[in-house]
Structure 1
Amino acid sequence: MKRLCAIIATLCVGAAVWAQEITWMNYAQPQEKAIMEKVIEKFEKAHPGVKIKFISVTMDQFGPKIQAALAANNLPDVFYVGPEAIRTYVDNKKLLSLTPYVEGAKKSGMNVNDIYENALNKYRYDGKKVGTGDLWALPKDLGPFAFGYNKDLFKKAGIPLPDKDKPYTFAEFTDVCKKLTKDVNGDGKMDQWGTGLNVRWSFIQFAWGNGGDFLDASKTKVDIANPKFYEALQYWADHTLKDGITPTMGEAQSMDTYQRWLKGEIAFFPVAPWDLAAFKNLSFEYDVIPWPVGKAGMKSATWVGSVGYGVAANTKHPELAAEFALYLSADKEAMEMMTDMDLQIPNLKSLAPRYVNKPGYPANRQEYIDIINDYGRSWPAEFTYNAVWFDEFWINIQTVLDGKVTAKEYCEKMQPKMQKLLDRANSKMKK
């Protein structure tokens, strides 16, 4: 009888312990998920009785699932939230302020001040302006969108490798891409191209590199009718329309340019930190350089993405959930694991040398740190209450890429439409 009571008591204690379960939901590629599972295992070992229920989905699945959880008021305890969504989540009281927990972590010795300040500022919000106020999420990372190139193709063509410190001008970039666009096997069809970029994610670098932007300095006015902007867009469209340095629409449909890059058929392609684990076994050497600029002397610019660890306002375990978010974002050993396995650039500034000096490709990892510290920019929609105005730009962008309208015509037509949507968003923010 005593033994039975002891067994029952043990089971009850176990049930009570395992009641400390928190759910974490993210999106990840398979290699990212495998790394995160190892990071979770370390946290669970340091917290006996705590269970992390890990739900990892694809990026396409994540949005609908989170929206469904929002509608049901059943958000995961910890989940990814982007900087552009902070205002909406906070205004609707869906996020827990992490400021008290961060301050507590500082007192306990965790060096939260070692996190890049521009990463933290993406998740501060005072009820009116992003960048100040309480912390509503902790950065998973900063993701500088660098420009990669296939070194083997350059060597085979006898073309000097790009200067890692001096960006190509638009004219120089087109010229070298033409030299790298070839019918390699002599069958009359192109099977190697200078580049092949996604307009939604890669055009903005060319606009910034030409001195243009979607918004003016006040971040309240759409500025795409500016010649600096639409000239960059026309230059982009002409890669296919006039210069022939990208796969045609049909060629891109038969195999997307990402797969062509992996096969070594594309000379220039974006290489972000989250790609490195997937690119580990590429059959060619590659490196990263600054994005092209309109003219000599202009400054290269690129996007610095981020996603944060948010904690649901109604979590049953706020302290544990906040501690787990802090662990993922700022724990040195966890960050070393993520860095060494090439999941990301470390959030901690003190670990930058560890990242930069890693062997293998790309050799110029310093480029990522330079983007973070020097010339990286936020996505335009991060400055506005929603992205509806920004999304409008892309709806009919194919008409420019197909040559049905000029970039100038398109931008002059779209600017007032986008401005109307932006004004509506700003009005919503004031309310």
Structure 2
Amino acid sequence: MRKKAFLLMLVLFLGIFLVACNSDGEGDSEDQDDTNSEDQEQDDEEASNDEESSLSGEITVWAHPFTGEGDAEQEMWDEITTSYEEEYGVTVNFEQIPWSNRDQKILTALAANNGPDVFYAIPDQMPQYADEGMLLELDPYLEDHDMDDFVESSLVSVQWQDKTYGLPILQEAYTLFYNLDVVRDIGEDPDNLPETWEEFEEWAVKAKENDYYATAFSFGGSMNGTLYPYIWQAGGEILTQDDEVKINDEKSVEAFEYVNKLYEDGHVPEDSITAQEHNEMWDSGQIMASMGSGINLQILQEKDEIDFGIAPPMKNEQQQTYGTTGMFVVPSNTENPDAAAEFVKHMTNSENQRKFNSVTKYIPTRESAKDIFDDQPYLSQLASYTQYALPGVIHPAGRSIMPFIQAELQAMLEGEKSPQEAADAAAERIANEIN
């Protein structure tokens, strides 16, 4: 059993949950169970020819607040749920739940068999739930569904062990935002921002010569936006879905070496080892480039104090970056799996992605819905980068291994370990966690 807080909660809840689970787990509705009944044979045949007509009853949908605009969000949800009800004849009970303690709330509700039929999940939740049999596999519902329109990278976060457990509704793409006044001051061209590690390091040297930090590192925070993108850009991995620990492979160690050199050469602030953010230094013009996404863009545009430019995600062997993916999933113990699965498909179709992401300002996961940003150059630019965005480590232990990696990375930056030693120590701790 993996040693993580999630499974401590399952000790309390899983027994009840398994009793409550749908016994076949295939998403068949109750009126299709008795296929041997002569009286219902004709009705079942008609239902198979017209799947929508078999949907009935009601479903409960849980989601979180995505903006501070409550009225606009509610109007958006009303439009989406009403269009579903009108098309399928199923009543939708929509409930907005807070982000805080969401894992506990969801697990408790599912274990008591009074949870939602559809709920919003993020990449580090999905594999935990799926690995314990708590999510409905959606592949049987997607055979005739247009999946090619989804950005390929957005599907990474909804799949565990080659099965699909959700459909994505939003993405982000983190990349470097440059202070163009600093770029000009170091004698570089704002229209040709660095695209490779080598180019960035050349600019970093010039930035230091002119008393600027090249970039902000916040290694006191999540590895998703700090170390992981460098590992992916080097062609490395952290942990695979087959439990292969790869963080200390040759390519992954290149990332440790690169960030260590940036720190040792003074290209990042001295407190980067434990810092959570460097917003004040960025705002005051001390930093040339800072990692950001849509929320950072919104802040920069509202303040209108920094002349900025957005660079493509960097590459070494590969061009990659981090970007979370939000999805809707269906618990395996739902009493109305067909209707729930159809809602997930309905919620993530192109039309409703336009509605949802126009309000929330996230990036649609369907290419056809990205036209909502056609008149917004910066958001359109970020939307074009989601093809490079990975959602983190898709593994039940993805969340719990991060502190181990962080600790070893910090030890390296403090000079206590070499990059290889730090990566090896992180690999050993990961292996102990998953075994």
Query: Equivalent residue of 1:23, what SS?
Result: strand
- Output the CA distance in 2 between the equivalents of 1:264 and 1:56: 39
Which of 395, 399, 418 aligns to 2:411? It is: 399
Query: Equivalent residue of 1:194, what SS?
Result: strand
Q: Note the alpha carbon deviations across 1:226-272, whole angstroms, 9 max, x for none.
A: 4543343243234444415325269957xx32465466554322222
More deviation in 223-232 or 142-151?
223-232
Normalising by structure 2, we get a TM-score of 0.69
> Which sections of structure 1, spanning at least 5 residues, go unmatched?
1-18, 183-192, 425-431
Structure 1 residues 242, 27: closer, same or farther in 2, change over 3 A?
A: farther
- Output the CA distance in 1 between the equivalents of 2:189 and 2:130: 51
Which of 6, 15, 22 aligns to 2:60? It is: 22
Which letter does structure 2 place at the counterpart of 1:351?
Answer: A
- Output the CA distance in 2 between the equivalents of 1:280 and 1:51: 37
More deviation in 150-159 or 407-416?
150-159
Structure 1 residues 339, 28: closer, same or farther in 2, change over 3 A?
A: closer
Which residue in the other structure is 2:384 paired with?
Answer: 369
Normalising by structure 1, we get a TM-score of 0.70
- Output the CA distance in 2 between the equivalents of 1:54 and 1:179: 55
Which residue in the other structure is 1:421 paired with?
Answer: 433
Which residue in the other structure is 1:37 paired with?
Answer: 74
Which of 277, 281, 296 aligns to 2:302? It is: 281
State the Cα RMSD in Å.
3.8
1:198 to 2:218 alignment: yes
Which of 285, 291, 294 aligns to 1:270? It is: 291
Which of 335, 342, 345 aligns to 2:363? It is: 345
- Output the CA distance in 2 between the equivalents of 1:251 and 1:116: 34
Q: CA deviation at 1:415?
A: 2.7
Query: Equivalent residue of 1:57, what SS?
Result: coil
Q: CA deviation at 1:39?
A: 1.9
Which residue in the other structure is 2:322 paired with?
Answer: 303
Identical positions, percent: 20
Structure 1 residues 178, 102: closer, same or farther in 2, change over 3 A?
A: same
Q: Note the alpha carbon deviations across 1:138-176, whole angstroms, 9 max, x for none.
A: 112333332222234324555322635843515224224
Which letter does structure 2 place at the counterpart of 1:307?
Answer: G
More deviation in 257-266 or 396-405?
257-266
Q: Note the alpha carbon deviations across 1:98-121, whole angstroms, 9 max, x for none.
A: 3455457x5xxxx55433345345
Q: Which has the higher contact order (CA 8 A, sep 6+)?
A: 2
Q: CA deviation at 1:40?
A: 0.1
Which residue in the other structure is 2:192 paired with?
Answer: 163
Query: Equivalent residue of 1:149, what SS?
Result: strand
- Output the CA distance in 1 between the equivalents of 2:136 and 2:72: 27
Query: Equivalent residue of 1:243, what SS?
Result: coil
Structure 1 residues 389, 306: closer, same or farther in 2, change over 3 A?
A: same
Q: In 1, are the aligned partners of 2:169 and 2:327 still within 8 Å (CA)? A: yes
Which of 185, 205, 210 aligns to 1:175? It is: 205
Query: Equivalent residue of 1:346, what SS?
Result: coil
Which residue in the other structure is 1:140 paired with?
Answer: 169
1:222 to 2:245 alignment: yes
Q: CA deviation at 1:88?
A: 4.1
> Which sections of structure 2, spanning at least 5 residues, go unmatched?
1-56
- Output the CA distance in 2 between the equivalents of 1:38 and 1:180: 51
Q: In 2, are the aligned partners of 1:23 and 1:52 still within 8 Å (CA)? A: yes
- Output the CA distance in 2 between the equivalents of 1:277 and 1:314: 40
Which of 255, 278, 282 aligns to 1:232? It is: 255
Query: Equivalent residue of 1:410, what SS?
Result: helix
Q: CA deviation at 1:346?
A: 2.0
- Output the CA distance in 1 between the equivalents of 2:155 and 2:63: 21
